[in-house]
Chain A
Amino acid sequence: MSTISSHNPMKNAVAFAGAATTGFVAKNSGRSQASLAAQACTDVIKACGLTAADIDGICGMVPSPPEMQTMLGIPRVTWFDNPVMPVVNAVAVATAAVFSGLCQTVLVYHTPYRLPWNTASSLQDPFRGIGMPAGSGPGPESIFGGVGYTAWASRYIHEYNVPREHFGLVAINDRSNAARNPGAAKRTPLTMEDYLSARMIRWPLCMLDMDLPVDGADAFIITTAERARDLALPPVLVNAVTLGMVEKNQEDQTPSLRNHGQQVVVDALRAKSDFWTDGTDIYFPYDGFTPITLNWFENTGWCGPGEGGQFVEANWNAEQQRILIDGRIPVNPHGGALSEGGSQASGHIREAVHQLQGLAGERQVAGARTALITAGGYFFNAQGLTLVSD
């Protein structure tokens, strides 16, 4: 029995009133996560024409909601939560909290941060090393965590006999898009030769297949559509939002590339949304690892299983060195996790909001009214979000 249905009473009833970012850097910023979050949060509250007293819900991981409330002097809140990433999870619970009346105006934030296990250089900041768990992990004979995506990349290559160049195109697309994003951490052009000669980290994935550890913060205001219409910026309506997971969700027990969390997300999001691939103006597939993006193309229905790379090749704009589906629809126009910086999808969501508000600068997709976001990976973090302009 499937429990997935088109039931979606909160469709278009809740909206993003605004989004703000610090921009991302791929080096130690010399700042705390609280400092970065404070900048993005105060920027978005001011941009919406609100004050601290207007916020009655707080939703984010670091700093914790109690710390955020104290830091920004938010007088009273009736709801707060600290959901695990990726960030569509925060959007889902904040949207539901607003729709249900738990609160009316939520501050949502996320602070990508170079943690001590991300890079050797992040360990050089003594403050970052303090919280690092001492002693040994479980040793190398495990595919838990990021290694899991590499392991399933080997399976993808085995089952469909695809060349590594298919992964490389995902990385190049992100880098070409990041060149138009002043907040992106990596903006220098990338060639296939660069990709193929990049340092191998865990075969079959190299340095350029993995998202970029960055410092930065994104912040959002989510409120009722009715209230958003009275605020300073154009509302962006939450058309549908969902998470997805299947019974065997450990990295090494996941049933197959055609049976994991992404398929659940696609079934549910498609049933609950007013549009799908043929109606979206921009597409945001997650790209924390390049094969995740190819899997999302396939599972979302842009192409068949194993055809993600061929789909990218068929929709490749050689002059711009990026994907334009049907010559029109850009993919992760902000540069994604691989080049803007690893944001656990907060960057994808923020760019979608800005695009639908007409605030995306030189990246602006003319007349964009719809965005499809498929965030996260395979195991316990697949998520989806559809947004429409008001």
Chain B
Amino acid sequence: MTDLITDADLVRLFPGQPLTHDSAAHYRGRLERRLLINRCTDCGTWQQPPFPICPKCWSTAVVPTEVAGTGTIHLVVFLYQGPPAPGVDYSTPYPVATIELDEQPGLRFTSTVIGAPNDDIVIGKRVTLDWIDRAGTPLPVFRLTEGAAS
């Protein structure tokens, strides 16, 4: 279905995002609420951000592949001010977290964490992928994993 979304549509739907021929599939995946990360089909290495070649074996058989969406908070900041965005109110400092995904050590994806007080959003906590709406397009975000030990 998202094959029908043209490159021009993507640029319009994701203003300001780093769209290229190499990252377009990731953003098409967002429209289906699937978090796609590039993976080498020859050696299995995941890479982020998306480049057109595997950094380990130089294979160009790199395919955007859905991840499980589970991981651990590796970095976190709370923005007291920041760029304007629909639904983002900096009167409560806005969390931005880099999540280390379970697929591979050092493979990270950065977004926000929702549904928890800021005091609970700390490095080491387990998180699970969720989706919210940002100006009409799905945005991948994370929630703290219920019952998980930190």
Contact = CB atoms under 8 A, between A and B. Distances in A.
Given A135-B16, A136-B15, A250-B49, A141 B111 contact: yes
A200 interface: yes
Interface string B46-88: 0011000001000000000000000000111111111111001
User: Chain A, interface size: which category?
Assistant: 20 to 34
Interface in B93-127: 93-94, 96, 98, 106, 108-112, 122-124
A4 interface: no
Interface string A135-159: 1111111110001001110110010
Given A138-B16, A140-B112, A201 B98 contact: no
Given A137-B83, A151-B98, A202 B16 contact: no
A248 interface: yes
B48 A137 contact: no
Interface string B23-42: 00000000000000000000
B83 A202 contact: no
Contacts of B77: 143, 147, 150-151, 154, 202-204
B18 interface: yes
A161 to B, nearest CB: 12
A194 interface: no
A255 B74 CA distance: 11
A136 B94 CA distance: 18
B111 A255 contact: no
Nearest to B76: A154
A135 B110 contact: no
B80 A141 contact: no
B116 to A, nearest CB: 15
Contact of B18 (A138, A141, A152, A200): A138
Contacts of A202: 77-82
Nearest to A147: B77
Nearest to B134: A139
Interface of B: 15-18, 48-49, 55, 74-85, 88, 93-94, 96, 98, 106, 108-112, 122-124, 134, 139, 141
22 contacts: A135-B15, A135-B16, A136-B15, A136-B16, A138-B17, A140-B82, A140-B88, A141-B139, A143-B110, A151-B75, A154-B123, A155-B74, A155-B75, A158-B124, A202-B78, A202-B80, A202-B81, A203-B80, A250-B49, A252-B108, A252-B110, A253-B106
Interface of A: 135-143, 147, 150-152, 154-155, 158, 199-204, 247-248, 250, 252-253, 255
